[in-house]
């Protein structure tokens, strides 16, 4: 599975309808792989839906959200690069987690 590239800032999953079923695209599969095997979870927001991660390769922060949360199952996932300032405003103090070894 492909790691996150330096020029990426958004990985957006999509669902398509096939034979009456919703099918997750390759980005959904990639996001699932990244949050299970590569990114390190830092913190969830107060709602429990949005989650902040750090990429141990480069220290960049990534937020997992479900922008179409009105859909069944919360909709497809999305990983978005966010700055430390954005993360701190939403998640509070995260500095102990941003410098992984």
Q: Which of the pair, 20 or 33, is modelled with greater confidence?
A: 33
Domain-located, residue 60: yes
What strands lie across the sheet with 51-54, from one edge to the other?
Answer: 10-12, 78-82, 61-65, 51-54, 40-44
pLDDT value of residue 101: 43
Q: Which of the pair, 43 or 98, is modelled with greater confidence?
A: 43
> 99: how many CB neighbours lie within 10 A of its CB?
8
φ/ψ of 37, rounded to 5, equals -125, -10
φ/ψ of 74, rounded to 5, equals 80, 0
Total domain count for the chain?
1
**pTM of this prediction?**
0.86
Domain-located, residue 1: no
Domain-located, residue 20: yes
pLDDT (tens digit, 9 = 90+) per residue, 1-30? 778 999 999 999 998 888 888 889 999 999
Domain-located, residue 5: no
Domain with 73 in it: 10-96
pLDDT value of residue 73: 57
Given a cut of 50, whether residue 46 has pLDDT beyond it is yes
């Amino acid at each position: 599975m492909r790691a996150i590239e330096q020029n990426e800032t958004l990985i957006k999953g999509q669902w398509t309808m096939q034979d009456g079923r919703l099918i997750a695209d390759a980005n959904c599969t990639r996001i699932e792989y990244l949050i299970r095997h590569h990114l390190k979870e830092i913190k969830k927001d107060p709602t429990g839906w949005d989650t902040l991660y750090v990429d141990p390769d480069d220290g960049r922060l990534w937020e997992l959200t479900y922008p179409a949360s009105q859909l069944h199952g919360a909709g497809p996932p999305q990983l978005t690069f966010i700055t430390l300032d954005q993360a701190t405003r939403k998640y509070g103090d995260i500095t102990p987690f941003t410098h992984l070894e």
